[in-house]
Amino acid sequence: MQDAERQLGVRLPASLLEILRVQNGGLVAELWNAFPTDVPTSWSENHVPLDDMMGIGRHDGQPSLLDSGYLVEEWGLPSPLVLLSGDGHCWIALDYRTCGERGEPSVTWFDVDTDTELPLATDFQTFVERLAAAASLDDADGSRSAS
């Protein structure tokens, strides 16, 4: 984990490291695969998806947290960010712009296609605590996610 932080140039949140020790990326359980929002996004009227999360290192050719620098540049995102999840068009990221590389990053949603960003949580722990099932949120707004 320290090697990953060195490569990324930031301190990762302790709560993220705990999760990665249990499961190093991959699919997110359906009970926690969405983050509720107070405003509509290009994805949904009331949430953003978290279908999967990047781990540290390569697994079955999937992107890794360590690819953040390349992906941030490729997709024209602000820096410094550590990307947690996304498909190129939309991303959920640890946002170090305000706190600095050693601080506690906020979590932000970036929509590349609409050039918008939406702050989700003041820190990663708060982000995790507010995760919900997309199905319950879809029922609330009448839409369906692509998952």
pLDDT tens over the chain, length 147 residues: 789 999 999 999 999 999 999 999 999 999 999 999 999 999 999 999 999 999 998 667 778 999 999 999 999 999 999 999 999 999 999 999 999 999 999 999 999 999 999 999 999 999 999 999 999 997 665 444 444
- d(Cα 110, Cα 54) in Å, to the nearest integer? 16
What pLDDT is recorded for position 1? 76
Do the beta carbons of residue 55 and residue 25 sit within 8 Å? Answer: yes
> What is the β-pairing status of strands 26-27 and 47-49?
unpaired
- In angstroms, the CA 28 to CA 15 distance is 16
The CA-CA-CA angle for residues 49, 55, 58, to 5°, reads 125
What distance in Å separates the CA atoms of residue 138 and residue 50, rounded to the nearest whole number? 14
> What is the DSSP-derived secondary structure letter of residue 73?
H
Q: Do the Cβ atoms of 134 and 147 come closer than 8 Å?
A: yes
* Amino acid letter, residue 85: S
